[in-house]
Amino acid sequence: MDIYGIVCRIYKDAKEFEQRLLKKLIPQKSVHSIYEIDVQTLWMSGVRGIITDLDNTLVGAKHPQATPELLDWLRRLQEIGFQVVIVSNNNRLRVSTFSEPLSIPYIFRAKKPGNAAFRRALQIMSLAPDQTVVIGDQMLTDVLGGNRLGLYTILVRPIELRDEGFFTKVNRRIEKVALSWMKRKGLMEWEDT
């Protein structure tokens, strides 16, 4: 093989890698907030468990407790029969302070998008990946992590951006580029607000 052939092969391999990676960032569904998710349809499709992020998915990053609207949503999930586990990259104090009053199991310092926390959440619920959805506001942590395990992923808009940490801000910039690519390719509809 000549140098041109080698360069073409490397380029083709790089393009295939890029395509595979970016497809792992595409959620099965995207909504403006958790309240737009049709949980009854999820239940009827066989979903029994919800792995959800905390900060900017359920409440703002600095909001210490559930809002009345969130409490109603969580009650509805419980009435339907869903199990819920909060999986967050945040620290123990933040996640436990929010989760324990609600009696929701949680995993802190989850190291998403790594698989371990998602697998642990599945064990806590005693459910298989095809019975579980992941809900989160970040493609590089929640969606990528869920997709890597074959979980159904739902991307929500972040509740508020102003109180986010440094790494989350970096992730948001990368996500903006990925979202732009996905919109150009027709892979995902997501309007900037």
Q: Where are the domains of the chain?
A: 3-185
First to last CA, the chain: 50
pLDDT < 70 positions in the chain: 1-21, 161, 164, 182, 185, 187-193
And the tokens for 103? 């009696």
Tell me which residue has tokens 């790089």: 14
Strands 132-136 and 83-87: unpaired
Is the pTM of the predicted complex or chain greater than 0.85?
A: no
Q: What is the pLDDT of residues 105-144, one digit of tens each?
A: 999 999 999 999 999 999 999 999 999 999 999 988 999 9
How much is the pLDDT for 169? 72
DSSP 26-66: --SEEESSGGGS-HHHHHHTT--EEEE--BTTTB-TT--S-
- Token reading at 84: 């819920």
Give the count of alpha carbons within 13 A of 139, CB side only: 25
The reported pLDDT for the residue numbered 23 is: 76
- What is the pLDDT, as a whole number, of residue 187? 66
Structure confidence at residue 191 (pLDDT): 53
Domain 3-185 sits in CATH 1.10.10.60: no
